[in-house]
Amino acid sequence: MKLFFKYCLCLLLISTEKLLAEEQNDTPVFSVNLSLGVDSDNDKNQHFHFFLELPGQHQLSMGYGKSISNIELLNTTQQFISIATNPYETFSIGVDYSFWGKEKSLETRSLRNDLYLNLDYWSFSLSPQLNVVTFYGLNGTSKFDLYARAATVTATYYGFENLFLGVDYYNNRFADDPFFFENQVPVSVVAQRLSTSAQLLMTSLERYRGGISVGYFFSWGSMELDWNQSNAWFINSRSYTTSLIIDYQLNKNLAFNLILSNQRSKADADLVSNDLNSLDIGMSIYW
């Protein structure tokens, strides 16, 4: 579900940036994106994204999402807020704060700094990030925090007219070895002291993720094919996700978004499908 949250944000920014490029003026642009999704486990998600171009073509965006699972303990929420300088300059920067998790079970908070370099046919970004993961115990009151330093690196090439190619890599490392690593306490033993919800959600935390993408801009919008591999933080599990992302620009003020995804996991977890398909549909409105 976190992956879908990222895709929705990318769709909103790509669609808005394309619209801004066509405007050629400093008139602020406002847009919202509403999306709904369901997967083959019958889990559902709902997301709302808000985007505003500020004077000088600086950008402000915010979002809220909710994932609803058949297993109530796996229900999560996501929120983010970010602000960035003019993305059409050679150099631009941004700051992003986000939350993901379930209150009083497992909560992750992230503060990220985005650094962008835009050349004639290339776009690069480096995003160092600090993550704080809060685990709650069985009684719902005792808790402990783990701190991790992370970074994302991306590169996108636009030299083939309407075709673009991209790669990205995310790495998440503990700032200090967790106490149970230092004392060689098995993670399974630590998990038994956590709330049931925290035990389930901790398998969603990523150690690293790498991906490639290829896309094409049409007169009516864009189409993108993404593939990525991720490794879980606390268990020996890898997942492979393939996604087709379609953004259809109906007119200057309305666009529709479609995401078809397949995720395969090598982990033999009772509560996680080894093969998961999902469909997400969204609508973006511009002023």
- The pTM for the full model equals 0.82
Q: List pLDDT tens digits, range 88-128.
A: 899 999 999 999 999 888 899 999 999 999 999 999 999 99
Between CA 263 and CA 29 the distance in angstroms is 35
For residues 208-219, average pLDDT: 96
Query: Which of 52-56, 118-122, 160-164 bottoms out in mean pLDDT, i.e. has the lowest?
Result: 52-56
Structural domains in the chain, sorted by start: 2-286 (2.40.160.40)
User: Can you give the pLDDT at residue 3?
Assistant: 47
CA neighbor of 252 nearest in space, from 79, 23, 26, 34: 23
Residue 197: what pLDDT?
80
Residue 232 and residue 177: Cα distance in Å, rounded? 16
Bigger pLDDT: 266 vs 56? 56
| 26 has pLDDT over 50 | no
Lowest-pLDDT choice from 31-35, 200-204, 279-283? 200-204
**Cα 171 vs. chain centroid, distance in angstroms?**
14
DSSP string, 26-47: ----EEEEEEEEEETT--EEEE
Give the pLDDT confidence score for residue 181 in this predicted structure: 52
15-19, 101-105, 279-283 — which one is most confidently predicted on average?
279-283
**pLDDT of amino acid 275:** 84
Contacting residues for 176 by C-beta, under 8 A, at least 6 apart: 147
For residue 173, the model assigns a pLDDT of: 86
Measured from the Cβ of residue 142, the count of other Cβ atoms closer than 10 Å reads: 12
CB 127 within 8 A of CB 115: yes
Q: What whole-number distance in Å separates Cα of residue 155 and Cα of residue 221?
A: 21
The pLDDT value recorded for residue 192 is: 62
How far apart (Å, rounded) are the C-alpha atoms in residues 13 and 91? Answer: 18
Tell me what the pLDDT averaged over the chain comes to.
83
